[in-house]
Amino acid sequence: MEKNPDIVCVGMALVDSIIKGFDPEPVSASGYRAQSGSLNVGGEAVNEAVAAARLGMHTSILCHLGADAAGDMVLASLEKNGVDTDHVVRSVEHPTPVTTMFVRDDGTRKSITNSSHRYNFHPENEVSFLRGSRAVILGSLFRAPFDDPQIIYSVISECSRAGVKIFADTKLPNFRVLTLSDISEALPYVDFITPNEDEARHFSGKTEPEEMADVFLSYGIKNVVIKLGGRGCFFKNSETKLSLPAFPIDAVDATGAGDCFVAGLACELLSGSAPDEALLFASACGAICTTAVGAGTALKDKEQVLRFITKYSL
């Protein structure tokens, strides 16, 4: 009998067209220059699944891909990295999303989405599979496929009742706008929610990390992690709170750093680490990700992360 996965990552799969060092001054009537351009497999579910597999977890993914070249590229990368792809949904009706990313010199970026990002496949139809895992990571709460309150509640509640740990990474709404109140029925089933600072500010209406966390906790979420980029992260639950500084590195590209953070957090907690140890490990995963262009480029394995932590702890 096939072993159930440790982690199932659910959400968006796509190809990132990453343009680094874009020069807004035209060199001709229709031409511009940039430092570099590359195609990279991405999407929250893909980034998290690849990271978790590289960190040693038996990892599966539930996502949608079109029956196109971009989808073939994503699938090949997942399989190369040891991710179970048996539950990838492919169709000719909806293309694989392609996102254009403009990356600044400090690693921060802006992205352009399109209508293909709106396709909402149906993870609620795969709950029996999800319930067999140890943890489910929702890669893009508030975006497709998790921009429908009924789908969110169905997946989260049924998995949680089966003893599955729920990790919910958030994204700012793009095509369909939801608030915390809109999905309040589902939130008490969430074990960890991990918004970045902009997302936390948007959903909470607050400006300070602890105040942001308190709003999420008020909805019954068990643990809140606010990712603060170059300022580290802030963690709070009903019993404790702590702040971790960022690792002192020179970021090249922050694409996928938050996804690697969430994957690292889930992997370490499933391995039995205490929250503070898991947060340190997760922060290292996110920092390593920023040292190269593309979400799945720099992070290699758990030993690399442990060496990184040791290096910066001296």
DSSP annotation of 23: B
Q: What is the pLDDT of residues 13-66, one digit of tens each?
A: 999 898 988 888 888 888 989 999 889 899 999 999 999 999 999 999 999 999
CA distances from 189 to 165, 173, 180 (A): 9, 21, 13
pLDDT of res. 314: 53
| More confident: 272 or 230 | 272
- Average pLDDT, integer, range 212-223: 98
Residue range 78-121, pLDDT digits in tens: 999 999 999 999 999 999 999 898 888 777 778 888 888 888 78
Which two structure tokens, joined as six digits, stand for 50?
Answer: 């690849």
Locate 205 and state its tokens: 């209406």
Q: 276-307: per-residue pLDDT in tens? A: 999 999 999 999 999 988 777 899 999 999 99
Q: What is the fold, at CATH topology level, of the domain defined by 7-22+34-313?
A: UDP-N-acetylmuramoyl-L-alanine:D-glutamate ligase (3.40.1190)
- What percentage of the chain has pLDDT greater than the value 90? 75
Asked whether the beta carbons of 261 and 283 are under 8 A apart, the reply is yes
Residue ranges per structural domain of the chain: 7-22+34-313
Check residue 1 and give its pLDDT. Answer: 41
- Residue 177 burial (10 A CB sphere; 0-12, 13-18, 19+): exposed
pTM of the model: 0.91
Query: How confident is the model at residue 251, as a pLDDT?
Result: 85
- Number of other residues whose CB lies within 10 A of the CB of residue 189: 21
- Dihedral sign of CA atoms 188, 197, 7, 70 in order: positive
